[in-house]
Amino acid sequence: MKKGISLLLIALLALLACAPMAMAEGIVSAKDTLKIGVAVEPVSLDPYETAGAEAARVKRQVMEGLFEINDAGEYIPLLATDWAWEDDVTIVFHLRQGVTFSDGAPFTAADVIYSIAAGKDGSLLKTYIDLEKSEIVDDYTVRIVMTEPTPILFDKFESQHFPIIHQAAYEDPNNNFMYKPIGTGPYVVEEWKTGDSVTLVRNENYWGTPAYCDKVIFRLIPESQQRTVELEVGGIDINLDTSFEDMDYFQDENVYTIGQYAVPTVNALFFNMSDIRNSAVRDLKVRQAMAYAIDSEAISKSVYGVGDAANSNLSPYYAYFYNKDLTADDTLYRCDLEKAKALMAEAGYADGLNLTILISDAPDEQAVAEIMQYELSQIGINLELVTRSSTTWYATVCAKEEYDVTMFVLYDNSPIYSWMHFLGDDSLGVPNYTTYRNETFMKDMKELLVTTNLDRQKELLTEMDGCVTADLPVYSLHFACNIVSMRKEVKGFEYRGGMTNVNQIYFE
């Protein structure tokens, strides 16, 4: 069967990536313990409970997938050493031998199959993999069969989306994967002090190059200024969630290193158009009025500081698919209060209405919501802020009962998967956060999932972008950019797919 362009690229990258990861030789860290400051605590470390960035930062140090993808788009082998497509729906993975889980159990092909089967119903892997036809060829070879050609599925075998676990350990009632998952990664969880820190220690039985630091502590420090103080006094070595207001503190190159890192994240306002809530935002005119009343440029500058106001629903991180002809002046809905008021009147709400916005306890969400609260009051909308902790926010979003709008992000290394996950409907086995319905969008999405031609993918994404802008199931506000500050003596820091290579960080 003839392969598409993407499949050929994957095969070539696999061959090029079969050598072990390049690591500096002879590195000895000057300090044993690395302390990292973060703003939000994980909800759970269970591989199937949450995919949030705050959990993924920790989980990918403890559990591994078949490979990882760096920011250059290269496939770096982990638990798979190489792979090959047999046809458009069948791929054979050859697995790394001599690997053990941190509890001493050997890693085999059975663990790959179990990790797919144990995943959440509705997950991309579980939805599009035919487990009855997939098979264990031998202890270190597994054949995966898809239900239909699904090019984006391949990327989901990487560590963030496919952490491989051992059946006996996961089903053992004495193990608590929520707090102490067992995997094959370079670190193991020593302790999670809820509301304080997660401590990792080096996995002495790791199959690859040992982690440079003996111990890594992720310290929960919700307040931005407190993280800044802790970095200054040595309470932390890295601040993964540096606020742009604090950037000036870290300009002394003899003491600090600071960097801005592009991420595939679009901060957005999601509208709850479900029958459950039956909100006024089901009316397009109300959604348009809100978009025209919200000044995304002001929010981008005053809250986020770095990155840009969104001029597309596709992040420029996806360089091939993003429309490079767009300029900073091409914001999606330029603030226009008179137009917003007219739309409110046309929708029958000239006298205003009450709406509720759901936000997490993340400081930037609070700041954005407070600005929106004022801006929307100018067109008669009384916006009530409802805050949920990071541990309960997601469940509240999925229930669709308590809010009319919520702050969310469009995020994934693949723009196709991002839109499928956040804007797809129930037929795709995804949560359907907004209950968006558009025949053209869904027709394009279903073609997008099976086409391997990059030019056709770009055409489809461009048309879908137009649908989202016109229909406004979400209002894209800001293209994110992460700021990371660290002590000068910290070396080896990299971003990979928006995550950090903690095991390769050391002190000079």
pLDDT, mean of residues 484-502: 85
How many residues appear in the chain? Answer: 508
- For residue 5, pLDDT over 60 is answered with no
At residue 144's C-alpha, the angle toward residues 142 and 150, to 5°, is 155
Distances (CA, A) of 337 to 12, 59, 63, 371, 385: 53, 45, 50, 15, 22
- Regarding predicted confidence, which is higher, 431 or 334? 334
pLDDT of residue 23: 43
Band (167; pLDDT cuts 50, 70, 90): very high
Say if residues 419 and 266 touch (Cβ distance below 8 Å): no
List CB contacts of 345: < 8 A, sequence separation 6 or more. Answer: none
- For residue 333, pLDDT over 50 is answered with yes
In the chain, where are the structural domains located? Answer: 5-24+42-181, 263-480
Question: Two tokens at 301?
Answer: 């500058």
SS3 497: coil
Band (18; pLDDT cuts 50, 70, 90): very low
CATH number belonging to domain 5-24+42-181? 3.90.76.10
pLDDT of residue 255: 94
Band (419; pLDDT cuts 50, 70, 90): confident
pLDDT of residue 152: 77
pLDDT, mean of residues 456-476: 95
CATH number belonging to domain 263-480? 3.10.105.10
- For residue 16, pLDDT over 50 is answered with no
CA atoms of 297 and 477, how far apart (whole Å): 8
Tell me which DSSP letter residue 23 carries: -
Q: Find, among 159, 16, 9, 15, the residue nearest to 83 by Cα.
A: 15
- For residue 239, pLDDT over 60 is answered with yes
pTM: 0.78
SS3 6: helix
CA atoms of 39 and 28, how far apart (whole Å): 29
- For residue 413, pLDDT over 80 is answered with no
Most confident of the ranges 97-111, 247-261, 324-338, 418-432 = 97-111
Chain center to CA of 404: 23
pLDDT digits over 31-84, tens only?
A: 999 999 999 888 889 988 765 778 888 998 999 999 988 766 678 999 999 999
Strands 256-271 and 495-496: unpaired
- Mean predicted lDDT score pLDDT of the chain: 89
Q: Which of 91-95, 265-269, 423-427 has the lowest mean pLDDT?
A: 423-427
At residue 415's C-alpha, the angle toward residues 268 and 443, to 5°, is 95
User: For tokens 């209950």, what's the residue?
Assistant: 435
pLDDT, mean of residues 445-460: 88
pLDDT of residue 120: 66
Band (415; pLDDT cuts 50, 70, 90): confident
Question: Two tokens at 258?
Answer: 């600071």
pLDDT, mean of residues 298-310: 91
